[in-house]
Chains A and B, each alone.
Chain A
Amino acid sequence: MKIYDGWKIILGIVIGIAFFTMPIWLNLSSAQSKVKPKLVYPTDARQCIDDKDYMNHYHMDLLNYWRDSVVRLNMRYVVRNGVVLTHNGQKLEMSLTLTCLKCHSDKKNFCDQCHNYLQVKPYCWDCHVQPKEALK
């Protein structure tokens, strides 16, 4: 059976299939597709604000809540069960710079690892000063 405008249709099919299978070609043509994020955890850390699973999945919610609390409600300290959390005798502040980055100071080998891997561009650094290690 004859195919009318055969070459145009074949070209269309090739472009269509190439479009939908683009991820496969992109992955196969790059050596980077086997690279996985490597997180460096602080070695001198005692404990985090919450458990690892929660922090892994929900840290952005926590930071967003902190921002709203501090900036909009002027609630500056981490409160749990009605008690202000302390660390080394000091009240724990709801602050990315003063609390999180104290231990997780290596932005490049911590925050950026997953964020770059997943094209997440948090706008933390629009306001916050980046830790010095990351600026080097």
Chain B
Amino acid sequence: MGIQLSLLVTVVILLAGWVAGVLPFLKFIFGVILPYVALAVFAIGLIVRVLRWARSPVPFRITTTCGQEKSLPWIKQNKLDNPSSALGTLGRMALEVLFFRSLFRNTKASLKDDRLVYSVDKWLWFFSLAFHWSFLIIFLRHFRFFTEPIPFFVGFLQDIDGFFQVGLPIIYITDVAILVALTYLFLRRIFNAKVRIVSLPSDYFPLLLILGIAVTGVLMRYFLKTDLVAVKEFAVSILSFQPISNELLNKLSPLFMIHFTFVCTLLIYFPMSKLVHLGGIFMSPTRNLANNNRMKRHINPWNPVVAVHTYEEYEDEFREKMKAAGIPVEKEE
């Protein structure tokens, strides 16, 4: 059921983008109003989600991590998996954010001769790493459309990405990688029964949406070319708050409008979906807290205020009686 619904919604967005590419009135709404709505929803939504997580109390450091914690000097600490310093925590976060270290521990459960067997499974890690890095590089490469002058890193990324110089326009490695990786991630949800049974529309839809963006992008680059000068003028105008003429809008092809509508949908959908793990990963309590429970006192915020009677106060109260009974005291007076 989830997959039909996701597919339906994706097709509706595709058709909306295509119709917007044909009808001038809709083109204005989808081309000029929608991007600003999308940018605002994306930015504000992301901030709201992160602040909502940030308001959670942090009563102590979660120590169920995957290595030896700091202990006696002759026991070797695993400084990256169970750090006790800020630098170590930064290292653990970097490995998590940049290389998905947790996912690298992914295992696969299967029945072999009626026995439950767990085995190593790196495919999910590999393809999701390929997908995320491709997406980042593609986003950064798109700065050639977003800004004038073009930032220095675009040329560098293009050279690396098109290293093999296959075809013309040169086929980018990330373009191939993102399509292959998304296909894997999608087929995994369909053909792996254990994953399919826990998959919801909100799992299929982001994949289809991003697949839609990637496919329309690849089509425009390699097969059904569009007027790139117009696309850039349009993008720069949007991103520098300049008015956009109807003449310019008319130059944008329906295929570009589909691509663009998908991207705006992604931005709007982002903060209210699982995709917000972009911000969430930085808020992972098992990753971003140094294990210093034994070195630093962390006060549980919902502990009630307890009236305490310290030993010093106790002694002050009963000093004379203690002395009379011959009990040793710390302070004589």
Contacts and interface: CB of A to CB of B under 8 A. Distances in A.
The finding on whether chains A and B are genuine partners in a shared complex, rather than unrelated, reads yes
A33 B229 contact: no
Given A27-B240, A118-B228, A119-B155, A1 B147 contact: no
Prevailing SS type, chain B contact patch? helix
Contacts of A30: 147-149
Interface in B4-36: none
A17 to B, nearest CB: 6
A58 to B, nearest CB: 6
A27 B43 contact: no
Contacts of B158: 119, 121
Contact of B143 (A5, A23, A56): A23
Interface residues of B, number: 44
B322 interface: no
Contact of A20 (B42, B50, B233): B42
A35 B226 CA distance: 20
A42 interface: no
Given A12-B282, A20-B42, A36 B233 contact: yes
Nearest to A12: B282
B151 A26 contact: yes
A63 B58 CA distance: 63
A27 B282 contact: no
Contacts of B144: 118-119
A60 B228 CA distance: 13
B54 A3 contact: yes
Interface string B127-152: 00000000000000001111111110
A30 B236 CA distance: 11
Interface residues of A, number: 39
Interface string A50-63: 00000011101101
Contacts of B229: 36-37, 114, 117-118
A13 B45 CA distance: 12
Nearest to A116: B150
B262 to A, nearest CB: 17
B247 to A, nearest CB: 12
A71 interface: no
Given A37-B229, A114-B228, A4 B242 contact: no
A82 interface: no
Contacts of B151: 26
B168 A33 contact: no
Q: Tell me which of A33, A60, A119, A123 has the highest count of chain B C-beta atoms within 10 A of its own C-beta.
A: A119
Contacts of B54: 3-6, 9
B301 interface: yes
A13 B51 CA distance: 9
11 contacts: A3-B54, A17-B46, A20-B42, A23-B239, A24-B239, A26-B143, A27-B147, A27-B148, A30-B149, A63-B168, A119-B158
Query: Which 10 residue pairs of A and B lie closest in terms of their CB atoms, listed nearest first?
Result: A23-B146, A27-B240, A57-B225, A64-B168, A119-B144, A4-B58, A26-B147, A9-B54, A1-B55, A23-B239
